[in-house]
Amino acid sequence: MASTQEIPLQQVDDVVIRFAGDSGDGMQLTGNQFTNTSALLGNDIATFPDYPAEIRAPIGTLSGVSGFQVRFSSDDIHTPGDQPDVLVAMNPAALKVNLADLKEGGTLIVNTGNFGARDLAKAHYDSNPLDDETLKDKYNYIAIDLNQSTLDAVADCGLTNKQALRSKNLLALGMLYYAYARPFETTEKWLEAKFANKPEVLDANLKALHAGALIAENSEFFGVKYEVGSAPLTPGKYRNMGGNAALAMGLVAGVKLAGLKLFYGSYPITPASDVLHALAGYKNYGVTTFQGEDEIAAVCSAIGASWAGTLGATGTSGPGLALKGEALGLSVMIEQPLIVVDVQRAGPSTGMPTKTEQADLNQAIFGRNGETPLPVVSCSSPGDCFEAAIEAVRIAVTYMTPVILLSDGYIGNGAEPFLVPDASSLPKIPHQFSQEGDTRQPFERDPETLARPWIKPGTPGLEHRVGGLEKEENSGNVSYDAENHERMTLLREQKVNGVAKSYAPLKIFGEDHGDVLVLGWGSTYGAIRGAVERCHADGQSISQVHLRNMWPLPLDLQDIMKKFDKVVIPELNRGQLNRIIRAEYLVDTISLPKIQGKPYGGAELFGLFQDILND
């Protein structure tokens, strides 16, 4: 039914779409395409990919459901949103897992082509949920056989049915492009590059994409066409940036600012492997990557690289950090730069590898034998991973110390528009290798930073030995002297504590005093910001401080906390920062722990803040 009437165009400012299907249905790809297209339109965006650990779980099962949520807005947004406005469910399992999250009155697009008896059984449905008449009352319910529509659309492409059906995600994408007035160019260009050598597949995908839009237009499924204007983002150059990609880029930028080269030793582990993938592509930046035989080899190779004068870095997730513990002690002992990235996931043990958590804070700060302090830096959003990585490089190189950089699966896999900084705005990271003729002893300290000199093997006349045994002050020779051991322990501690003197002052969002201070760290940043903004709209007295430097803690934190009646600490663990703050400052903080493998949502935190503000 072709419509001759103009479809009305309605302005909306904030939309959340969740694509959900089988892990073989291409939902991540579909979500990424919608994200890139929206970013180029100038929307603010935030994404949340949620996929199973199994690469291909049995088709159609609940464990195989893969989801990708994208939020795009004409406002400045901080999270991928709590409840989707639109849910695309490619099969019964996807419907079962996701329907409860869909906003009441939202749009539900269901691929009826996958609702046969066997599909229903795999999702443990006793009867067909689409027979439920209330779907039409609760939602804008769009039932469409995407399989048949795709087969029809690509009938003349010369593909088998099985091949043709692979394009059904693009048909769904085309429908949403139409509904939200998105242009096709970004996706068309991407498809052309990806399938340059498979013209019939390219043809099918392009046809499916356009067919989706035509179906949406002709069927008037959406009633209106929505328009989401561009967001009031700071003027400048933007790119869409995923967290792990930003972290890799930040490491490369950091070594460029320090005039060093980067060595990245890593062992594959979810959700950190993408950092290795990204860095392996930076060879023309002088980056060498090494896939070790295990987590220990990965960190040890990085320690060796740093000793040889290249900045060594390694990346992992929680279980891998546990394996690297002994080597981190060595790195603390020999006092050399090293970056250890931990893209955290739900633990303990193997835990839930594809689900997010912030429960490695204790491990990062304390998880080694002996008195073994080292600085810990955290990332608060996908784009922020770039700056956090540079901060980690700065501390490691300036203070001759290993640094742990904490990200997590939520920000590592998430994406947002990233304001690309101007190269000249990034401060250089000064450092010097000792030269032939230098008279400083191997463990003689800089009076300001307490850092020892960085002496590369190959430098004539400065031959010396380092190792894990306790060292005599200054000379670095092996020493079992009792008082020397205590002195060296305190010197290493003072050096790390001194890093806090180099931090930028903490930023307070809101008043610098009041009823409640929300103290957060890491990936809870966006949800806290959104919730605090809502509280401000209601005139409530609440402020936010978000930590970048987890250890040593910032020197101005204590005075800030004193000016609030209550300090609230939301985190995705059992209260690890909370315990540290209580221990360090004797402040009666309120912990808001969450351990569900899922991030906090803005509305969820808003509700929790109300309880505290009204208490």
Give the integer Cα–Cα distance in Å for 25 and 113: 13
User: Packing angle between helix 384-399 and helix 243-258, nearest 10 degrees?
Assistant: 40
Name which of 426 and 613 has its Cβ closer to other proteins.
Answer: 426
Name which of 236 and 505 has its Cβ closer to other proteins.
Answer: 236
Residue holding tokens 């503000």? Answer: 613
Contact with other proteins (CB under 8 A) among 478, 559, 574, 607: 478
* In the complex, minimum distance from the CB of residue 429 to other proteins, in angstroms, rounded to a whole number: 12
* In the complex, minimum distance from the CB of residue 350 to other proteins, in angstroms, rounded to a whole number: 20
Contact with other proteins (CB under 8 A) among 2, 423, 482, 586: 423
Give Cα 167 distance to the centre of its chain. 29
**Which of the residues 99 through 158 are near other proteins (CB under 8 A)?**
none
Name which of 307 and 410 has its Cβ closer to other proteins.
Answer: 307
User: Packing angle between helix 185-194 and helix 27-40, nearest 10 degrees?
Assistant: 130
The total of other beta-carbon atoms located within 10 Å of residue 561's CB is 17
Residue holding tokens 């009867």? Answer: 127
Helix (H, G, I), strand (E, B) or coil at 52: coil
Contact with other proteins (CB under 8 A) among 469, 474, 490, 559: 469
* In the complex, minimum distance from the CB of residue 313 to other proteins, in angstroms, rounded to a whole number: 11
Name which of 124 and 283 has its Cβ closer to other proteins.
Answer: 283
Contact with other proteins (CB under 8 A) among 309, 414, 530, 575: 309
DSSP code, position 68: E
**Which of the residues 279 through 308 are near other proteins (CB under 8 A)?**
282-288, 290, 292-294, 296-297, 300-308
Contact with other proteins (CB under 8 A) among 199, 223, 430, 458: 458
Helix (H, G, I), strand (E, B) or coil at 274: helix
Site string for other proteins, 312-341 (x = CB under 8 A): x-------------xx-xx---x-------
| β pairing state of 542-547 and 514-521 | parallel
* In the complex, minimum distance from the CB of residue 423 to other proteins, in angstroms, rounded to a whole number: 5
* In the complex, minimum distance from the CB of residue 441 to other proteins, in angstroms, rounded to a whole number: 13
CA distances for 63 relative to 53, 197, 253, angstroms: 9, 34, 39
**Which of the residues 2 through 41 are near other proteins (CB under 8 A)?**
36, 39-40
**Which of the residues 226 through 255 are near other proteins (CB under 8 A)?**
230, 233-241, 249, 252-253
Q: In this structure, what token pair is assigned to residue 548?
A: 């970048």
563 binds other proteins, rule: CB under 8 A: no
Contact with other proteins (CB under 8 A) among 131, 436, 483, 588: 436
Residue holding tokens 């079992």? Answer: 480
CA distances for 15 relative to 74, 120, 532, 597, angstroms: 9, 30, 20, 24
* In the complex, minimum distance from the CB of residue 609 to other proteins, in angstroms, rounded to a whole number: 31
Q: Which stretch binds other proteins (CB under 8 A): 24-32, 278-286, 531-539, 605-613?
A: 278-286
The candidate with the shortest Cα–Cα distance to 325, out of 362, 364, 287, is 364
372 binds other proteins, rule: CB under 8 A: no
Give the integer Cα–Cα distance in Å for 478 and 468: 9
Name which of 230 and 494 has its Cβ closer to other proteins.
Answer: 230
Give the integer Cα–Cα distance in Å for 416 and 48: 10
Name the phi and psi angles at 151, rounded to 5: -60, -40
Contact 567, 517 (CB under 8 A): yes
488 binds other proteins, rule: CB under 8 A: no
Site string for other proteins, 167-206 (x = CB under 8 A): -------------------x--------------------
Q: Which stretch binds other proteins (CB under 8 A): 109-117, 256-264, 351-359, 392-400?
A: 256-264
Site string for other proteins, 383-412 (x = CB under 8 A): ------------------------------
Contact 471, 477 (CB under 8 A): yes
Contact 524, 361 (CB under 8 A): no
Q: Which stretch binds other proteins (CB under 8 A): 89-97, 199-207, 213-221, 277-285?
A: 277-285
The candidate with the shortest Cα–Cα distance to 538, out of 506, 510, 568, is 510
Q: Is 196 exposed, middle or buried (0-12, 13-18, 19+ CB in 10 A)?
A: exposed
Contact with other proteins (CB under 8 A) among 83, 148, 477, 497: 477
Name which of 256 and 355 has its Cβ closer to other proteins.
Answer: 256
Give the integer Cα–Cα distance in Å for 549 and 365: 11
Q: Which stretch binds other proteins (CB under 8 A): 93-101, 375-383, 395-403, 467-475?
A: 467-475
What is the DSSP code string of 346-364?
Answer: B-STT-BTTS---TTHHHH
* In the complex, minimum distance from the CB of residue 45 to other proteins, in angstroms, rounded to a whole number: 12
Q: In this structure, what token pair is assigned to residue 551?
A: 């250890």
212 binds other proteins, rule: CB under 8 A: no
Helix (H, G, I), strand (E, B) or coil at 343: strand
Name which of 96 and 182 has its Cβ closer to other proteins.
Answer: 182
Q: Cα torsion at 292, 56, 32, 123 (round to 10°)? A: -140
265 binds other proteins, rule: CB under 8 A: yes
Name the phi and psi angles at 357, rounded to 5: -165, 160
* In the complex, minimum distance from the CB of residue 444 to other proteins, in angstroms, rounded to a whole number: 17
* In the complex, minimum distance from the CB of residue 595 to other proteins, in angstroms, rounded to a whole number: 33
The candidate with the shortest Cα–Cα distance to 542, out of 570, 571, 580, is 570
* In the complex, minimum distance from the CB of residue 43 to other proteins, in angstroms, rounded to a whole number: 11
